[in-house]
Amino acid sequence: MQATTRTGTAEPRVERRSIDFVPEHERHGSPTQQFTLWFGANMQITAIVDGALAVLFGADALWAILGLLIGNILGGAVMALHAAQGPKLGLPQMISSRAQFGVLGAVIPLVLVIIMYLGFAATGTVLAGQAVEQITHTGTPAVGMVIFGALTVLVATLGYKYIHLMGRISTVVGVLGFTYLGIRLLASQDVGALLSSGSFEFPTFLLAVSLGAGWQLTYGPYVADYSRYLPSDTAPRRTFLTAFFGTVLGSQWSMTLGALFAALALPKGQRFLDGQVAFLGNLSGGGLIAVVIYLVIVTGKLTVNTLNAYGGYMTMLTSVTAFTRKSTAPSRTRLVYVIAFIGLSVLIAVLASPDFIANFKNFVLLLLMVFIPWSSINLVDYYLVSKEKVDIPALYDPDGRYGRWNKTALFSYAVGILVQIPFLAQTLYTGPMTKMLGGADISWLVGLVVTALVFYPLAKRNSNAPAHMIYPADAGPLATASASEPLQSSQVP
């Protein structure tokens, strides 16, 4: 049966797979898990902050919510296309990008991915640390950040199954907690007045679109990590739809609350800007119910922070093995990598927390500049050039089909970054085209389209994709399905 467990043997408590291919007999789960994982991962306070930023930086609440929705839909569609790759490839997302960039060339975007994971882990740790401090009354958020970091290490080290379990828990907890906050908001405030005040301004509306799109697009480098254990015959459409609706509905719910909270706080001394966690605790009514809300915050942040730690481990290991030529790593290696990653993110969180809001806004928008071209190249190659056919053994061989460096992808990637510069709207730099647009930031859209237009004709002309999928020899039924392709094809330079 499609999308069901393929093995009757007991699975280990700690995941043993890393960046290696997941054979068919180890595949398990249902696309429904993609919905709960991404819904739960977005029912969290950082998504609330992202929605609030649209209002705090100038947009009217109603137009901010609509702009965020458009951004979430556009970015969510791109994100879900990456998720749909997981069941067929059985690989982490960034290993598969070696098919576009080359085994060594893929390390260039990988380094930037690691920075992204650190940034999100650090900014999330700031808010989660505040919530833990409110519960434990330790007197300093730094202690809460360390406690939260330890919890993240635990779940990320256990691996894939427990990450999905956290997604299911976070979905239930988030729905209950955020529904309560919404009811409190409706009961205590004139939400209609919040939505009717102000007017439409195109630049701030596009900022809201960019914040929503940027939130979704930055999931692209690791979304397939969490769909790669699904059975290979899982319909790509089901994986796409469950991931898409999970991430869009979860993030839009959170961001809508954030936009309303920010609109409420603005005329009252920007209370949300000064303390997001305390603001939610006060809105809940204080006392024991506030403690419950703080636990909701910690649960949501633990889910997404675990994704960052697990994805960070995978990305670092992918970078290292490009040079060592190894295709797997023992479970203890994950523990070492995760501890190092989380330790650094907690340190960053402690040092960066005073300027959290401003830094987070700039961080999210800046990430678009480097990840949009990567996403465009990966999707265009997989769906339009290679047509979902990959030589998996060659992904681990610098002398194989994909080589060390793919000049076409690297050139297109550089063009995709550079073309965005005139359209940037950053604190340190505002491009000339942005000024002509009244401050609106459309760099992400320019990067997505231009990169695809540059990469597609060049890649189509120089494609070395196999005639059909080539799986490892120990892939089980999958390997048999590709037997007509000579195995030595993975050695084509």
- Considering only residues 82 and 128, tell me which one the structure prediction assigns the higher pLDDT: 82
Query: What pLDDT is recorded for position 464?
Result: 85
Q: Is 470 helix (H, G, I), strand (E, B) or coil?
A: strand
What's the CA gap between 167 and 14, in Å, rounded?
17
* Residue type, position 242, single letter: T
Whether residue 65 contacts residue 261, with contact meaning beta carbons closer than 8 Å, is answered with: no
Please give the domain boundaries of the chain with CATH numbers for all domains. Answer: 30-365 (1.10.4160.10)
- Considering only residues 459 and 141, tell me which one the structure prediction assigns the higher pLDDT: 459
Average pLDDT over residues 91-107: 93
Q: Is 365 helix (H, G, I), strand (E, B) or coil?
A: helix
How many residues would you count in the chain?
A: 493
Q: Is 200 helix (H, G, I), strand (E, B) or coil?
A: coil
- Residue given tokens 């190092």 in the structure block: 340
Mean pLDDT of the chain: 85
What confidence tier does 193 reach under pLDDT thresholds 50, 70, 90?
confident
Q: Is the dihedral of CA 316, 321, 326, 327 positive or negative?
A: positive
What's the CA gap between 212 and 354, in Å, rounded?
24
Most confident of 156-170, 193-207, 464-478: 156-170
Query: What pLDDT is recorded for position 59?
Result: 86
Whether residue 229 contacts residue 66, with contact meaning beta carbons closer than 8 Å, is answered with: no
Cut 0.95: pTM above it: no
User: Rounded to an integer, what is the distance from CA 298 to the centroid of its chain?
Assistant: 18
Asked if pLDDT for residue 141 goes beyond 70, the answer is yes
- Considering only residues 401 and 16, tell me which one the structure prediction assigns the higher pLDDT: 401
* Residue type, position 146, single letter: V
DSSP string, 60-83: -HHHHHHHHHHHHHHHHHHHHHHH
Task: List pLDDT tens digits, range 4-14.
Answer: 444 444 455 77
Please give the C-alpha separations between residue 348 and each of 119, 179, 218, 333, 483, in angstroms, as whole numbers.
8, 32, 19, 23, 49
Q: Is 98 helix (H, G, I), strand (E, B) or coil?
A: helix
Query: The tokens of 206 are what?
Result: 């596009």
Query: The tokens of 78 are what?
Result: 């791109």
